């Protein structure tokens, strides 16, 4: 009897401590989530996974208290997802089993993984980081940005941020998913399928890396997934558009027809527009978007979606531009795109630092926003703030930016619900928007845009200071908008 009372007391104490730990973690979060119930014993048995079953041997209590306490802690861990072991939030490095699929320099490709037992949702993130399109600028990239071409110095762990964060206050709807981060080491916008040989000094195997990661993950629980979200930023965002259907087809071909594959493309919706000033195609940043991709497409041995390839036969490089490839994509895709994307402006030879911009540049910037809006109007699920920035979903401020009063995490949650309701033949949820695009005409006219700092003083600038810094002519702009200059200044100052 005394042993039983002691067991009960110890068990209650440990569980209370675990519960307190959870409470501390959730306290103060923006959108606290209810704790998920652990998977049922039947579910665990189906997967042959016995690591979450913790029988207690009460006969060993008095003889071996340390062993008993270990068992109690294991039980508490199975009941509370944020207990001791779950405090290890880092994703851990894994190299591909197929060693023939490599980074540019022939070093092994791989991925970072943080499993979330009991969750059937998987998020696979493709890193961005520009590209190179000939031996000269690939050599330069290897000297200055080697981590984007080699795995030789990758750290053993990586901490997720934004939509990869395991914290519900930073990641309200995806915090408990299985997180996978694939480092970008192929320099080919995740499109290549060319091995390193004596003739090819560099390997370009981005599309194959994605395929091999998915195959490896099937042995780590992906086989039991309900939803797989293929996400990416910048070059990774374009990589999502190029690969999301291929991932769906791969899983279907391997017999995993129950996994719903979706895409989330962040800052990868580039335009093949005319540069503000044409320059020689000497380096990646100065080269016109179309010329870069034309050269890269051949150099990488790139693979594009079959339906898009057929549409643009002979000019398959067109499939790297979002508005051209999107109509051919069968999988659901959510597009996140700043209307005034810094990377787009860079390749268009618009520099927004240093001297105030000229009137022609200012007009070009406004036209860019208009062009982007036009290409996005038929995208059913999207989030497009009128901000000057690049990349969003892995930034720690991603929950703060809003379009028409809706944050990106909220919009993604609405999208998720609408897809589920569509599968179940239900009406889409009301007051849950998924098509969000700013209508104001200039950079940072949205008051929730990320902070801009003066590059010389380091001080934060509000939208009015920023526009003045860019050479904004209040009198002329007020005249164009048909309003009094003082009213326009008031609107800018208040962030309207």
The pLDDT tens digits of the residues spanning 347-375 come to 887 766 656 667 777 788 888 899 999 99
Q: Is residue 2 packed enough to be buried (19+ CB in 10 Å), middle (13-18) or exposed (0-12)?
A: exposed
496 vs 345 pLDDT, higher one = 345
Is the pLDDT at 436 greater than 90, yes or no?
yes
Identify the CATH number of the domain in which residue 430 sits.
Answer: 3.40.50
Q: Which helix (H) or strand (E) holds 260?
A: strand 260-266
454 lies in some domain: no
Q: Is the domain of 332 the same as that of 480?
A: no
pLDDT reported for residue 84 = 39
Same domain for 369 and 289, yes or no, is: yes
Q: What is the pLDDT, as a whole number, of residue 93?
A: 97
Write down the catalytic residue from 188, 216, 245, 341: 341
Q: Are residues 405 and 484 in the same domain?
A: no
Domain identity same for 304 and 224: yes
Q: Could you tell me if 488 and 405 lie in one domain?
A: no
Q: What pLDDT does residue 35 have?
A: 37
Q: Confirm whether 161 is domain-assigned.
A: yes
Is residue 437 within 8 Å of residue 382, measured between CB atoms? yes
Mode of pairing for the β-strands spanning 452-453 and 460-461: antiparallel
Q: Are 263 and 338 members of one domain?
A: yes
Query: Does residue 8 have an active-site annotation?
Result: no
Position 469 in a domain? yes
Q: Is the pLDDT of residue 68 over 60?
A: no
Domain boundaries, position 296: 86-447
CA dihedral of residues 73, 76, 82, 86 (deg, nearest 10): 40
pLDDT digits (tens, 9 = 90+) for 291-339: 889 999 999 999 999 999 999 999 999 999 999 999 999 999 999 999 9
Mean pLDDT of 78-89: 51
How confident is the model at residue 40, as a pLDDT?
41
Mean pLDDT of the chain: 81
Same domain, 280 and 377: yes
pLDDT tier for residue 279 given thresholds of 50, 70 and 90 = low
> Are residues 344 and 481 part of one domain?
no
Write the CB contacts of 301 (distance below 8 Å, at least 6 apart in sequence): 192, 193, 194, 204
146-165, pLDDT tens digit by residue?
A: 999 999 999 999 999 999 99
Note the pLDDT tens digit of each residue in 6-53.
Answer: 444 544 444 444 444 443 333 333 333 343 343 443 343 343 333 333
Q: Out of 105-119, 162-176, 288-302, 341-355, pick the least confident.
A: 341-355
**In the prediction, which pLDDT does 335 show?**
98
> Does residue 256 lie in a domain region?
yes
Using alpha carbons, list the distances in angstroms from residue 139 to 104, 142, 144, 283, 290: 11, 5, 9, 12, 22
Confidence label for 456 from pLDDT (cuts 50, 70 and 90): low
Residue of 234, 331, 389, 407 marked active site: 234
Name the CA radius of gyration of the chain, rounded.
Answer: 25
Quick check: 454 pLDDT over 70? Answer: no
Q: For residue 465, what pLDDT is reported?
A: 67
Q: Do 348 and 474 lie in a common domain?
A: no
Span of 2-11, 108-117, 403-412, 485-494 with lowest mean pLDDT = 2-11
Number of domains comprising the chain: 2
For residues 37 and 81, give the distance between their C-alpha atoms in angstroms, rounded to a whole number. 9
Distance of alpha carbon 79 from alpha carbon 39, whole angstroms: 10
Q: Of residues 476 and 219, which shows the higher confidence score? A: 219
Q: Is residue 77 part of a domain?
A: no
Q: Which of 173, 256, 390, 444 is catalytic?
A: 390
| 256 given a catalytic annotation | no
- What is the rounded average pLDDT of the residues 261-284? 82
Task: With respect to residue 152, please indicate whether it lies within any of the assigned structural domains.
Answer: yes
Residue 234 among the catalytic residues: yes
Cβ-based neighbours of 471, under 8 Å, separated by 6 or more: 356, 357, 358, 359, 362
Same domain for 124 and 250, yes or no, is yes
pLDDT at 199: 75
> Would the pLDDT of 129 be above 90?
yes
- On whether both 487 and 361 belong to a single domain, the answer is no
Average of per-residue pLDDT across 54-64:
40
Same domain, residue pair 436 and 472: no
């Amino acid at each position: 009897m005394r042993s039983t009372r002691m067991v009960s007391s110890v068990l209650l104490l440990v569980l209370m401590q675990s519960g307190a730990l959870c409470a501390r973690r959730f306290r103060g979060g923006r959108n606290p989530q209810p704790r998920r119930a652990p998977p049922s014993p039947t579910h665990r048995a189906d997967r042959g996974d016995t690591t979450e079953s913790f029988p207690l041997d009460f006969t060993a209590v008095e003889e071996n208290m340390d062993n008993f306490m270990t068992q109690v802690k294991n039980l508490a861990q199975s009941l509370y997802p944020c207990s001791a072991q779950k405090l290890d939030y880092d994703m851990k490095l894994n190299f591909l089993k197929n060693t023939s699929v490599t980074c540019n320099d022939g070093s092994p490709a791989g991925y970072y993984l943080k499993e979330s037992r009991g969750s059937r949702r998987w998020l696979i993130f493709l890193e961005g980081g520009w590209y190179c399109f000939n031996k000269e600028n690939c050599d330069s990239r290897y000297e200055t940005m080697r981590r984007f071409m080699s795995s030789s110095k990758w750290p053993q762990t990586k901490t997720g941020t934004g939509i990869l964060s395991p914290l519900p206050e930073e990641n309200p709807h995806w915090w408990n998913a299985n997180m996978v981060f694939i480092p970008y080491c192929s320099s080919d916008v995740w499109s290549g399928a060319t091995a390193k040989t004596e003739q090819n000094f560099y390997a370009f195997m981005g599309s194959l890396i994605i395929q091999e990661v998915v195959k490896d993950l099937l042995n780590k629980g992906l086989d039991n997934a309900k939803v797989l979200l293929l996400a990416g930023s910048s070059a990774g965002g374009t990589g999502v558009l190029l690969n999301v259907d291929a991932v769906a087809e791969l899983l279907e071909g391997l017999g995993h027809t129950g996994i719903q594959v979706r895409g989330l493309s962040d800052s990868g919706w580039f335009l093949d527009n005319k540069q503000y000033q044409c320059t020689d195609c000497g380096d990646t940043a100065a080269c016109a978007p179309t010329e870069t991709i034309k050269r890269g497409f051949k150099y990488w041995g790139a693979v594009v979606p079959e339906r898009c390839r057929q549409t643009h036969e002979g000019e398959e490089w067109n499939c790297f531009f979002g508005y051209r490839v999107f109509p051919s994509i069968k999988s659901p895709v959510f597009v996140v795109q700043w209307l005034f994307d810094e990377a787009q402006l860079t390749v268009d030879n618009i520099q927004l630092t240093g001297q105030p911009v000229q009137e022609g540049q200012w007009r070009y910037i406004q036209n860019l926003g208009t062009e982007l809006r036009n290409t996005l109007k038929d995208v059913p699920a999207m989030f497009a703030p009128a901000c000057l920035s690049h990349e969003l979903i892995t930034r720690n401020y991603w929950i703060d930016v809003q379009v028409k009063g809706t944050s990106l995490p909220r919009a993604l949650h609405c999208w998720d619900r609408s897809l589920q309701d569509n599968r179940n033949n239900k009406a889409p949820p009301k007051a849950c928007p998924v098509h969000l695009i700013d209508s104001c005409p200039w950079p940072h006219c949205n008051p929730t845009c990320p902070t801009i700092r003066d590059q010389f003083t380091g001080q934060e600038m509000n939208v009015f200071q920023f526009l003045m810094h860019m050479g904004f002519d209040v009198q002329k702009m007020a005249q164009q908008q048909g309003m009094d200059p003082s009213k326009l200044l008031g609107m800018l100052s208040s962030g309207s």
